[in-house]
Structure 1
Amino acid sequence: MKSINFTVFVLGVLLLDSCVLKEKVTTVKIKNELGFERTFETVVLSKSDLNMEDLSTVGIKDKETGELQQTQLVDNDGDAIIDDILFQPKIAGNSEKVYELVNVTDAERPKAEELCYSRFVPERTDDYTWENNKVAFRMYGPRAQQMIEENIPGGTLSSGVDAWLKKVEYSIINNWYKKEMENQGAYHLDSGEGLDNFHVGQSRGVGGVAIKKGNSYYFSKNYTKWRTITTGPIRTSFYLEIGDWDVDGNPIKESKIISLDLGSNLSKFEVTISGTDTLSAGLTLHEKDGELKENNDNAWVSYWQPHADSELATAIVVPQNTFLGFEKYDVETADLSNAYAHMKVDNNKVVYYAGFTWEESGQFKNQKEWESYLEAFSNQVNTPLVVKVLLK
């Protein structure tokens, strides 16, 4: 079972006198405390973790094999200084591996295709769309909202998360938008790569948020600002700011960082929110003809449903320390029936994971295999890789 990315707890701090790796050898020991192999799980090493000011020439080498690892350098704040180095180790169950930090040139650094990709799409109103080698998503911006409010055709008023059903491992975003600009409606037809036939409307789609008060759910309108943080072979991440909204007169401020890593079917949502102590993330129930499966022990919910001539499963996974329960919210109003995961807001922060699989992609054989994947995913969220940075 392939695993996915999670924020890793760095348990050791390296003390270096210099930001340059010369005579000193820095090692990174990574321990897997679960009983199965973990791959496609991203380890993040920051400047502060390594006590280094410049990561631009840092590479990571498997100490046992001497193989340079695929890495990605990330500038989180846009100041042209690298803040993090990412890589995805392969660690057998109940074991550990050791890696060394080495100096590398750009020519020496292993190259890979930029499969984790996202961008703002001004040619299609103002979508923000993201993908990896498994799945693709999008959300809608202020111009799309304005068009609805001014009765201009072609707008979208929704803070739900749309699913793009791709069935190829290469990037499709630019190709699908190009086809759509040339022939309106083109990306709603499957030309061999998949299609956009997932209805969002006012629903929560695949992981859109809401706040419950009484028997009603409240949610925001479209995002108002965006900033791409990174794209590359391992991760894409970006920032979205949401326009101020309210819950029955109570003001809410919200922003989020969304990331998607190589090999993952679920995006990570890191929400910053004020004005509420709880937050819910939802999955649309569409025609209400699917099977809803809730696992309260491991804090995941999945909705397996018929979809056109195929089947589709959506899911949310919540860290156990903030999980408050699930609810099937079934009403008559179109698009408002959702399966919700309730979460505790801790210091104005909430983290959860949401995503999907499509039968046509061939990624999972059946519902049981998908749910086993969610079990493994939850175990990894709640038992992160143990990372120690050491100096020899």
Structure 2
Amino acid sequence: MKKLIYLLVAGFLIASCAESKTVTVTVTNSTSSDRMNEMVEVAMNEVASKLKLADTAQIVVLDADGQQVPYQITYDEKIIFQVSVKGNGTAAYTIQSGTPDVFNVKACGKYYPERLDDVAWENDLVAFRTYGPALQAKGEQAFGYDVWTKRDTTDPVVEARYAMELNPETLAKIDSLTKTNPEAAKELRAATSYHVDHGNGLDCYKVGPTLGGGTAALMVGDTIIYPYCYKTQEILDNGPLRFTVKLVYNPLTVKGDASVVETRVITLDSGSHMNKTVVSYSNLKESISVAVGIVLHEPNGEVLANAQKGYITYVDPTDNINNNNGKIFVGAAFPANVKEAKSVLFSAKEKEQRGGADGHVLAISDYIPGSDYTYYWGAAWSKANIKDAAQWNEYLANFTVKIRNPLTVTIK
């Protein structure tokens, strides 16, 4: 009997040790600035192997105080979560078996066939969209990314905006009123349009036939090869902390070769104003320039173009400067060296072709065939958390330092 008790106790201790096994994630900050709420990645297969997990969904991530940290397992099998690390310091997080809390969705997106194949996405700070084949089939030229502003909420808002904008009953009523009471039709459209701020922001950014809010495009000499709307889309991650979409485009004609196909993978994390974008071009035969552009809606607008430090910014006046829409701050940042950064204004003829836009601020780099070109682009709004150009430029400067000096993550 005593031997049986010993065996039972030993078995309990072994089981307890197995259940209490943990993985320690140490995050090191090599910069002198504090890194707050920054996303890191850990390989899921390595954690699962160390914890001997049968069900990889049943883990928890804990901070130094033992409190659960929201996390997500991504399409490429990474555990992502936000960390805070003091300048030149380290921080430790623990991953172990357990039942995770329910986390609020802070980054998400959707394909909207009902709105001409838009793909739109957002996080707790800002929202974006890109245009699809149904829009291209209509002949409308919209090459670039669109920016949707957000304020006074960290919850998702984009799906509700589309639902209000595209409600069939409302649209039918507007159509009917247009024939009998145009003023009432106008009022109802304003009351349901996402181009009007109903309390949490709006779409007041003008893309037109330009590169919009930070699209990449190949260049031959000084000529931009404008990409059209995407051909196919695949949403790879959809919250709660990261949204990722893969876009494949119709073939481009580059130096007479009509077989060059562009692929983009766009990722937006919670807590960031910036989308990470990885671009590749298949079938290119030689190195070529690639430019990231932000459309200019003033010939002498507030632009910062710093090739050495690796970022560009622009203060956009919005599509209705007299409507108290504030200012939209747009920018792009580059982890690798930028060859040239500058403003390029359109000729009078091209200005007419580009919907009245005045030009682009461009950051130009070299693209080597077979490689991935990675950069970041995004926006903020003066009616939300970033109030002026100085604050936005500081954000981009700090952000560029971070992507050029990533946090170091080790696990044991």
Mapping for residues 354-365 of structure 1, pairs under 5 Å: 354-361=377-384, 363-365=385-387
Q: Within the alignment, does 1:263 sit opposite 2:279 as a pair?
A: no
What is the DSSP-based 3-state SS (H/G/I as helix, E as strand, rest coil) of the residue aligned with 1:42?
Answer: strand
What is the DSSP-based 3-state SS (H/G/I as helix, E as strand, rest coil) of the residue aligned with 2:266?
Answer: strand
Separation in 1, partners of 2:340, 2:280? 20
What is the DSSP-based 3-state SS (H/G/I as helix, E as strand, rest coil) of the residue aligned with 2:137?
Answer: helix
1:289 CA displacement: 4.1
Q: Within the alignment, does 1:231 sit opposite 2:238 as a pair?
A: yes
Q: Which of the numbers 160, 173, 177 marks the counterpart of 2:158? A: 173
Q: Which of the numbers 199, 222, 244 marks the counterpart of 2:251? A: 244
What is the DSSP-based 3-state SS (H/G/I as helix, E as strand, rest coil) of the residue aligned with 2:66?
Answer: coil
Mapping for residues 15-54 of structure 1, pairs under 5 Å: 22=19, 24-50=21-47, 52=49
What is the DSSP-based 3-state SS (H/G/I as helix, E as strand, rest coil) of the residue aligned with 2:251?
Answer: strand
1:74 CA displacement: 2.0
8 Å CA contact 1:282–1:341 kept in 2: the answer is: yes
Q: Within the alignment, does 1:323 sit opposite 2:330 as a pair?
A: no
What is the DSSP-based 3-state SS (H/G/I as helix, E as strand, rest coil) of the residue aligned with 2:83?
Answer: coil
Q: Which of the numbers 367, 389, 399 marks the counterpart of 1:367? A: 389
1:248 CA displacement: 3.8
What is the DSSP-based 3-state SS (H/G/I as helix, E as strand, rest coil) of the residue aligned with 2:84?
Answer: coil
Opposite residue 371 of structure 2, the aligned amino acid is N
Q: Within the alignment, does 1:113 sit opposite 2:97 as a pair?
A: no
Aligned alpha-carbon RMSD (Å):
2.0
Separation in 1, partners of 2:129, 2:118? 7
1:51 CA displacement: 6.5
Opposite residue 91 of structure 1, the aligned amino acid is V
What is the DSSP-based 3-state SS (H/G/I as helix, E as strand, rest coil) of the residue aligned with 2:209?
Answer: coil
**Residue-by-residue CA offset, 1:253-283 (whole Å, 9 max, x unaligned):** 1111101111111111111213253311100
8 Å CA contact 1:322–1:345 kept in 2: the answer is: no
Larger radius of gyration: 2
Q: Which of the numbers 130, 140, 165 marks the counterpart of 1:139? A: 130
Separation in 2, partners of 1:272, 1:316? 18
Separation in 2, partners of 1:265, 1:124? 25
Deviates more, 1:212-221 or 1:49-58: 49-58
Opposite residue 83 of structure 2, the aligned amino acid is P
Mapping for residues 333-348 of structure 1, pairs under 5 Å: 333-334=350-351, 335=354, 337-346=359-368, 347-348=370-371
Separation in 2, partners of 1:301, 1:234? 26
Q: Within the alignment, does 1:99 sit opposite 2:93 as a pair?
A: yes
What is the DSSP-based 3-state SS (H/G/I as helix, E as strand, rest coil) of the residue aligned with 1:197?
Answer: coil
Separation in 2, partners of 1:219, 1:383? 32
Separation in 2, partners of 1:253, 1:193? 38
1:351 CA displacement: 0.6
**Residue-by-residue CA offset, 1:31-74 (whole Å, 9 max, x unaligned):** 11112221231111123544638632222222x31122111122
8 Å CA contact 2:307–2:339 kept in 1: the answer is: no
8 Å CA contact 1:223–1:242 kept in 2: the answer is: yes
Separation in 2, partners of 1:86, 1:175? 27
Q: Within the alignment, does 1:86 sit opposite 2:77 as a pair?
A: no
What is the DSSP-based 3-state SS (H/G/I as helix, E as strand, rest coil) of the residue aligned with 1:378?
Answer: helix
What is the DSSP-based 3-state SS (H/G/I as helix, E as strand, rest coil) of the residue aligned with 1:188?
Answer: coil
What is the DSSP-based 3-state SS (H/G/I as helix, E as strand, rest coil) of the residue aligned with 2:211?
Answer: coil
Q: Which of the numbers 145, 160, 163 marks the counterpart of 2:144? A: 160
Opposite residue 333 of structure 2, the aligned amino acid is V
1:157–1:49 distance in 2 versus 1, CA, 3 Å: farther
What is the DSSP-based 3-state SS (H/G/I as helix, E as strand, rest coil) of the residue aligned with 1:372?
Answer: helix
1:329 CA displacement: 1.6
Number of residue equivalences: 352
**Residue-by-residue CA offset, 1:134-171 (whole Å, 9 max, x unaligned):** 111111111111122xxxxxxx3322101112223221
Separation in 2, partners of 1:133, 1:157? 29
Separation in 2, partners of 1:75, 1:318? 24
8 Å CA contact 1:140–1:157 kept in 2: the answer is: no
- Name the counterpart of 1:6: none
8 Å CA contact 1:21–1:102 kept in 2: the answer is: no
1:360 CA displacement: 1.6
- Name the counterpart of 2:10: none
8 Å CA contact 2:212–2:295 kept in 1: the answer is: yes
Separation in 2, partners of 1:315, 1:259? 16
1:297 CA displacement: 2.5
Q: Within the alignment, does 1:300 sit opposite 2:317 as a pair?
A: no
Opposite residue 95 of structure 1, the aligned amino acid is G
* Higher relative contact order, chain-length normalized (CA < 8 Å, sep 6+): 1
8 Å CA contact 2:218–2:288 kept in 1: the answer is: no
8 Å CA contact 2:147–2:203 kept in 1: the answer is: yes
1:228 CA displacement: 0.8
Unpaired runs of 5+ in structure 2? 1-16, 172-188
Opposite residue 56 of structure 1, the aligned amino acid is A
Unpaired runs of 5+ in structure 1? 1-19, 77-82, 149-155
TM-score (norm 1): 0.85
1:201–1:248 distance in 2 versus 1, CA, 3 Å: farther
1:340 CA displacement: 1.0
Separation in 1, partners of 2:271, 2:299? 29
Separation in 1, partners of 2:18, 2:345? 58
- Name the counterpart of 2:280: 272
1:368 CA displacement: 1.2
**Residue-by-residue CA offset, 1:96-120 (whole Å, 9 max, x unaligned):** 0112220012xxx132221201110
Separation in 1, partners of 2:83, 2:265? 24
Separation in 1, partners of 2:59, 2:338? 38
8 Å CA contact 1:160–1:206 kept in 2: the answer is: yes
Q: Within the alignment, does 1:206 sit opposite 2:213 as a pair?
A: yes
8 Å CA contact 2:148–2:203 kept in 1: the answer is: yes
Deviates more, 1:305-314 or 1:129-138: 305-314
